[in-house]
A = this chain, B = another copy of it.
Amino acid sequence: MLGDISNKAAHMLSLPKVSDFFTRLIQRVAPKSYQQALGEVYVTQKFLENFSGDQVRFLARSFAVPGNHLGQQSHGYRWPYGPVAIVTPFNFPLEIPALQLMGALYMGNKPILKVDSKVSIVMEQMIRLLHHCGLPMEDLDFINSDGKTMNKLLLEANPRMTLFTGSSRVADKLAVDLKGRIKLEDAGFDWKILGPDVQEVDYVAWVCDQDAYACSGQKCSAQSIVFMHENWFKSSLISRMKDLAAKRKLEDLTIGPVLTFTTEAMLEHMNKLLQIPGSELLFGGKALENHSIPPIYGALKPTAIYVPLEEILKDGNYELVTREIFGPFQVVTDYKDNQLPRVLEALERMHAHLTAAVVSNDSLFLQEVIGKSVNGTTYAGLRARTTGAPQNHWFGPAGDPRGAGIGTPEAIKLVWSCHREIIYDIGPLPSHWEIPPAT
């Protein structure tokens, strides 16, 4: 049944009229360009196509192994939890809740969904669309509330599993409140490393610009720091990044309001960084002008700050430099061949391990960096990026047993089901069986 619903819903999202409706609805509540909003709709459509037909039942595939005697066989199933909860943030009003909701349903759970109330209208419309495509009304609950009320509800309802996407602070609180019955996808201070082999500078500059500044940097996968090999640092890369950043404008929301930091807060953070010896402003660093964004939100030009590697590693500076700013803001540093171990040390000390990118086609360099890091979704190769994972790439952190994933069949199975082992042991008894002595 869910295969049919998914197929119909995917078809509806593929209709230009419907797709445009959701894209504009997303833009009404989240500060992103038409293309970025459309991307959410497209990923949701493709995800639904992936679970058309029999693919939902294929998700529930189990395995069996022969036992020790005739009639015994052990089966490993992916089993639903039953009552579960989903809590999702403002920055992806459609994609994150839609994919997690469907994943929970595919595996046989009964979910209650709460989306950040600033943007929950998008998901409300999507649920109506799902109902239209045949989803029974009683299969899911949808709640509009503030975080406090939701917290209370979770404590009382005590769902067997809660999926939370959002800030690390709330994530840690929920982990304690729910005694660890939780899967998390929290914020990340995501890094990119450019290796020794410089090529296709235009392409890499464009990817850096998108990774750092698309959606005004308000993706949990946004590029927060980039480590450039000195070969890249000496190239025209930074000047091209600067050119690209300069083309972003408020009119088409390629740069726009920041919902969780004020302009002052971001500038203050920037000034602290600039006090570190050797630091300098590469570009940006100023408030946006001529706009009507309310002062409770932020409005900053795309900004990049250089900080020397050795300064980053100093105890006093490390926490400051690796603080995540959920806005159009990145740190840039450089390194020489013999400093690679210091770069790896910097990565090792970060505590959230979400996405990463290693931009190089040098096989031994890739092997060295990937083998010594633990980030979740990691792109490697000349075309590596940190953002823009489609529905066919697992997206999620690594190195944490609470870590959730989104998008792929593996992510759905891991987040929304648990292993259940059922051993069938029907006999017959061996002929002439006799009661053995007790042990």
| Interface residues in chain A, defined as those with a beta carbon under 8 Å from any beta carbon in chain B | 3, 7, 10-11, 33-36, 39, 46-55, 57-58, 60-68, 70-72, 74-76, 79, 81-82, 160-161, 172, 175-176, 178-183, 200, 202-203, 206, 209-210, 213-214, 244, 247-248, 254, 361, 363-364, 367, 370-371, 374-385, 389-396, 398-403, 405, 408-411, 414, 418-429, 433, 435-439
Contact = CB atoms under 8 A, between A and B. Distances in A.
Nearest to A382: B427
Contacts of A389: 423
Nearest to A81: B399
Contacts of A361: 363-364, 426-427
Nearest to A58: B65
Given A36-B439, A64-B61, A398 B418 contact: yes
A54 to B, nearest CB: 4
A57 B79 CA distance: 23
A27 B129 CA distance: 37
Contacts of A381: 71-72, 363, 424-427
A390 B68 CA distance: 10
Instruction: Name the 3 nearest CB pairs between A and B, nearest first.
Output: A180-B180, A49-B53, A381-B426
Contacts of A364: 71, 361, 426-428
B418 A403 contact: yes
A412 to B, nearest CB: 12
B11 A70 contact: no
A379 B54 contact: no
21 contacts: A11-B11, A58-B65, A68-B390, A70-B371, A71-B363, A71-B383, A76-B408, A76-B410, A81-B399, A81-B400, A160-B401, A172-B179, A178-B180, A180-B402, A181-B400, A206-B436, A214-B438, A380-B422, A383-B425, A398-B419, A411-B419
A420 B438 contact: no
Contact of A50 (B52, B209, B403, B421): B52
A401 to B, nearest CB: 5
A392 B74 contact: yes
A423 B358 CA distance: 10
A38 to B, nearest CB: 9
A380 B63 contact: no
Q: Which of A214, A244, A411, A427 has most B Cβ within 10 Å?
A: A427
B427 A383 contact: yes
Contact of A53 (B46, B65, B74): B46
